[in-house]
Homo-oligomer: A and B are copies of this chain.
Amino acid sequence: MAKNVGILAVDIYFPPTCIQQEALEAHDGASKGKYTIGLGQDCMAFCTEVEDVISMSLTAVTSLLEKYGIDPKQIGRLEVGSETVIDKSKSIKTFLMQIFEKCGNTDIEGVDSTNACYGGTAALFNCVNWVESSSWDGRYGLVVCTDSAVYAEGPARPTGGAAAIAILIGPDAPISFESKFRGSHMAHAYDFYKPNLASEYPVVDGKLSQTCYLMALDSCYKQLCKKYEKLEGKQFSLSDADYVVFHSPYNKLVQKSFARLLYNDFLRNASSVDEVAKEKLGPFSALSGDESYQSRDLEKVTQQLAKPLYDAKVQPTTLIPKQVGNMYTASLYAAFASLLHNKHTTLAGQRVIMFSYGSGLSATMFSLKLNEGQHPFSLSNIASVMDVGKKLESRHEFPPEKFVETMKLMEHRYGAKDFVTSKDCSLLSPGTYYLTEVDSMYRRFYAKKACEKGSLSNGH
């Protein structure tokens, strides 16, 4: 069996168009700090009428192949995780096949995985399992997480975002899976869902969704600890994780979640937390599960106690989610990309615990082990290729009015046919794919903005 299977390479794309949360806050007449401190968000990316989940994923995949020097023929599996439905039957993966057909490679397994923000994690596990299975043919797997998160006007609107991430999978990876340390929690819930088929917007029960997220987190953490303890013969606690990366609908929930893990450690084994924590958490030790999810006092105390650990183990993962917003399936991996960006020089030998959550609901906590790897599949090269700092800096801020206008146009365009876009790609970086037309049969056409060298290619 292939060994140390995991992530060899990553690239991330997010639209260059964004809005500052502070500006949106003021425009919406929300109280000062509601989006920036209340939600913990700084900025939000969004697709304009020339971008969508297909164009973003075409961009991310093409960029990854080019920048790591991967021949498209070396890809044996390609899977997409997304909850942004443009077609209910034809997968996003088949759009990406355009890149590979050109090279004569059509023998590529995998389709799209769907369950809210969890689809990317399902695709990732499937790809890793494929490399470890008897059906592996020695080629690379490629996972794409692509989503555009948009909400109707109202309190959920600032929790949008958009991005696509491409992740290359294979053996002897700098980021490998500790597959035995994994806990899942899956259940039937209506916390966030998309039953209104004609609308791009979800139906959201914000309060329920937060409780579902925390319940799933508790359950997954318990499972992971149990499995670790069975295999390793010793207790697992936060001190065994160098970093913890969360699916990040908004940063405030990440803060709460990490604090919740500290509370879990205390409940499972009080000796794993320090004396101060033991004393301060004592009064909460007899709460029922339900009570604990509702208790504001517990939330406050645990967040205070967890603050130093949060700064060390979580804060380095929050950059892109805070700057780009909720990227649904890409959110967890954008948080992980933030960690690689911020800490790549010191990650070798470290363990990263990942928590993936998709409403409806599906959740898994899993463990990654890092080593420096070998060029081009090294932590430093991944950070260099992603070039997160430059991508964030070179964005274009829209004023709120223009953002709202864009959302209105996008509502109109969702599910529509027989239109051409402005084809205005002036804000896009060279090499970015963009939507040019949806014809009378709903067929979608894309073009690629010429690369800096002046080469021109067409994504049809």
Contact = CB atoms under 8 A, between A and B. Distances in A.
Interface of A: 1, 5, 78, 83, 85-91, 93-95, 97-98, 100-101, 106-116, 118-119, 122, 125-126, 128-130, 132-135, 177, 179-180, 182-190, 192-198, 202-203, 219, 223, 358-362, 364, 414-415, 417, 441-443
Given A134-B179, A187-B101, A362 B93 contact: yes
7 contacts: A1-B134, A106-B219, A111-B113, A128-B135, A129-B135, A134-B177, A197-B198
Contact of A116 (B89, B129, B194): B89
Contact of A203 (B85, B135, B180, B441): B441
Most buried by B among A90, A101, A108, A190: A90
A98 B196 contact: no
Given A91-B360, A106-B185, A111-B122, 17 more contacts: A83-B88, A89-B359, A90-B116, A90-B195, A94-B360, A97-B187, A98-B188, A100-B186, A101-B187, A109-B186, A111-B114, A111-B118, A128-B133, A129-B130, A133-B133, A135-B180, A198-B415
B443 A190 contact: yes
A259 B93 CA distance: 30
A190 B417 CA distance: 14
A195 B86 CA distance: 7
3 nearest A-B pairs in the assembled complex, by CB-CB distance:
A195-B442, A90-B360, A135-B179
Contacts of A442: 193, 195-196, 203
A86 B97 CA distance: 27
A187 B100 CA distance: 8
Contact of A132 (B107, B122, B132, B359): B132
Contact of A110 (B83, B122, B134): B122
A326 to B, nearest CB: 13
Contacts of A93: 115, 186, 362
Contacts of A184: 106-109
Contacts of A186: 78, 93-94, 97, 100, 106-109
Given A129-B135, A135-B179, A179-B134, A91 B115 contact: yes
Contacts of A94: 115, 186-189, 360-362
A282 B259 CA distance: 75
Most buried by B among A87, A177, A183: A87
B360 A88 contact: no
A442 B197 CA distance: 11
A446 B134 CA distance: 40
Nearest to A215: B106
Contacts of A114: 89, 91, 111-114
Contact of A182 (B1, B108, B135): B135
Contact of A185 (B107, B115, B192): B107
Nearest to A85: B88
Contact of A133 (B132, B188, B198): B132
